[in-house]
Amino acid sequence: MQMTNKELAARTNQVIIGTYTRYPAAMVAGSGCRLTDAEGKEYLDFLAGIAVCGLGHCHPAVTAAICEQAGRLVHVSNLYYTEPQTELAELLTAHCFADKVFLANSGAEANEAAIKLARICSGADRYEIISLSGSFHGRTLATVAATGQAKFQKGFEPMPEGFSHAPFGDLAALESMITDQTCAILCEPLQGEGGVRPLEPSYLRGLRALCDKFDLLLIFDEIQTGMGRTGTLFAHEQMGVTPDIMTLAKALGNGLPMGALLTTNRIAAAFAPGTHASTFGGNPVAAAAAVATLKVMLAHGFLAEVREKGRYLHDQLQALAARFPELAVTARGLGLIQGLVLTEAGVQRGSAIVNRMFAKGCLINFAGGVALRFLPPLIVSSEEIDQMTALLAEVLEELAAEM
């Protein structure tokens, strides 16, 4: 007998540590851009598992790859070679600046690997990493220290040393923070958790110039912006800037745990056997899912469609900002990571907007305390974008009437 949402929530809360504030729905099935809860209610998903299900839920090609690999080999550890992780690394390096890949299980692990690689490559006396205010790089102690948001660090002090945070978009301020101990600059080309804030291409080019001038490594965290989310396979492709190290996760496995660090031969050489490892990293089933995901995304026309749909979503959100100026200021983002920046009055109602959208059967979230964030699967249709914006217009109209 199928349990209700409430029954499964009560059962879960008895045994799972309460580190999440969950919505009152137990999701039991998904297809494309739709999820279904335990009571049969359907939701239009404009969150995609927080940018994870880039091809939507249960994509046929990915599902087939998972099932086929699971029937052949699930795990042997990285003491042995496996074909799926090799094929994945070949695909990744064939479509970016990198020569080598380290496979992990999550974005935080990929960023941990990047932090360790930057330090060991730069030498014992150079260990400081500069990131940006408003950034988000993970939940481990080192990646929380690199994260430029105090709320994620609260209660876990003292933070590991060697991390500092430059003001967002201020190149001169960042340059003034560089010391003889600095080894790298770490940033997201667009801050997702920080409120869907793109960095200007000129700023990113300035970071590249600073790294070249001071012999620093430039690390791009593309965990949320990578894998087609912005309309190119990696966001930095649109900026005319090449990093030394790039980290990926989220949509890489389309729902299976998969993270990656990518870099050049010269930098990768600093990681010798025994310097870094991951028991499950590059797991054959997760790697097979990632291979299938990449092949779909690399098909002719796929990324061009993402760019087109991203422009359409942006325009629809911009129209809502113009229609409800008391609640929204503007739309911003790249491709299919878009934000609707709220006014002060809108920010006070940000959580209420998300909750009302949930009640109407549409999933979005509120990021950085400043913007509604929209992360639909990259396969979203224009009709589904219209459906979401119509529901959002209803919610904004209701709230405007209550002001």
Q: Note whether residue 375 is domain-resident.
A: yes
Name the domain boundary from 245, 274, 297.
297
Query: What is the tens place of the pLDDT at every residue in 38-58?
Result: 999 999 999 999 999 999 999
Helix (H, G, I), strand (E, B) or coil at 377: coil
* One domain for residues 249 and 166: yes
| Range in 1-15, 101-115, 131-145, 306-320 the model is least confident about | 1-15
CA atoms of 269 and 123, how far apart (whole Å): 13
Average confidence (pLDDT) over 377-397: 98
Q: Would you say 391 and 383 are in contact if contact means Cβ atoms under 8 Å apart?
A: no
CB-CB neighbours of 290 under 10 Å: 31
User: Is the residue at 67 inside a domain?
Assistant: no
- What the block records as the tokens of 204 is 């990113």
**pLDDT tens digits, 306-330:** 999 999 999 999 999 999 999 999 9
DSSP secondary structure code for residue 238 in this structure = G
In a shared domain, residues 155 and 22:
no
Three-state DSSP at 245 gives strand
In contact, 175 and 141? CB cutoff 8 Å: no
66: in domain: no
Q: By C-alpha distance, which of 196, 187, 210, 201 is closest to 133?
A: 187
Residue 380 lies in a domain: yes
CA dist 111 and 28 (Å) reads 31
Percentage of residues in the chain with pLDDT exceeding 70?
100
Beta bridge pairs of residue 29? 36
Q: Are residues 87 and 204 in the same domain?
A: yes
Mean pLDDT, range 339-359, rounded to an integer: 98
- Domain co-membership, 285 together with 320: no
Looking at the structure, do residues 357 and 268 belong to the same domain, yes or no? no
**Residue percentage of the chain with pLDDT more than 90:** 99
Binned at pLDDT 50, 70 and 90, residue 3 comes out as confident
Same domain, 258 and 317: no
Distances (CA, A) of 338 to 310, 318, 359: 8, 10, 21
The verdict on pTM exceeding 0.85 is: yes
Residue 160, amino acid: P
- Same domain membership, residue 151 and residue 39: no
Q: Please report which helix (H) or strand (E) contains residue 289, including its range.
A: helix 284-297
Compute the C-alpha angle 92/93/94, nearest 5°: 90
1 pLDDT higher than 80:
no
Torsion of CA 111, 52, 353, 18, to 10 degrees: -70
205 and 254 in a common domain = yes
What is the rounded distance in angstroms from the CA atom of residue 132 to the CA atom of residue 134? 6
CA 253 remoteness from chain centre: 12
In a domain, 65, yes or no: no
What's 360's domain CATH number? Answer: 3.90.1150.10
Instruction: Specify if 191 maps to a domain.
Output: yes
Q: Are 365 and 340 in contact (CB under 8 A)?
A: no
Residue 149 sits in the same domain as residue 47: no
Segment 104-118, tens digit of pLDDT: 999 999 999 999 999
Q: Identify the residue whose tokens are 């490559």.
A: 121
- Report residue 403's pLDDT band, with 50, 70 and 90 as the boundaries: confident
Residue 199 within a domain: yes
Provide the mean pLDDT of the chain. 97
Question: Are 276 and 156 members of one domain?
Answer: yes
pLDDT at 143: 98
pLDDT of residue 224: 98
Retrieve residue 28's tokens: 């039991």
How far is 394 from 268, CA to CA, in rounded Å? 52
Give the domain-ending residue among 272, 297, 322: 297
CA distances to 23, 184, 286, 337 from 302, in Å: 32, 34, 22, 16
Residues 120 and 233 in one domain: yes
* CATH of residue 108: 3.40.640.10
Helix (H) or strand (E) holding 354: helix 350-359
Between β-strands 100-104 and 27-31, what pairing exists: parallel, antiparallel or unpaired? unpaired
The answer to whether position 64 is within a domain reads no
How many independent structural domains does the chain possess? 2
pLDDT band at 2 (very low <50, low <70, confident <90, very high): confident
Q: Which of 250, 280, 297 is the last residue of a domain?
A: 297
Compute, in degrees rounded to 10, the torsion defined by CA atoms 302, 265, 182, 211. Answer: -60
* Residues in CB range of 237: below 8 A, 6 or more apart: none
Q: What is the mean pLDDT of residues 25-43?
A: 97
Contact present, 388 and 353 (Cβ < 8 Å): no
Give the domain extent around 350: 5-58+301-402
337-342 sheet: strands from edge to edge? 328-334, 337-342, 371-374, 365-367
- According to DSSP, residue 375 is labeled -
Placement of tokens 């990518």 in the chain:
262
Domain match, 137 and 235 both: yes
Look up residue 9 and give its two tokens: 């929530």
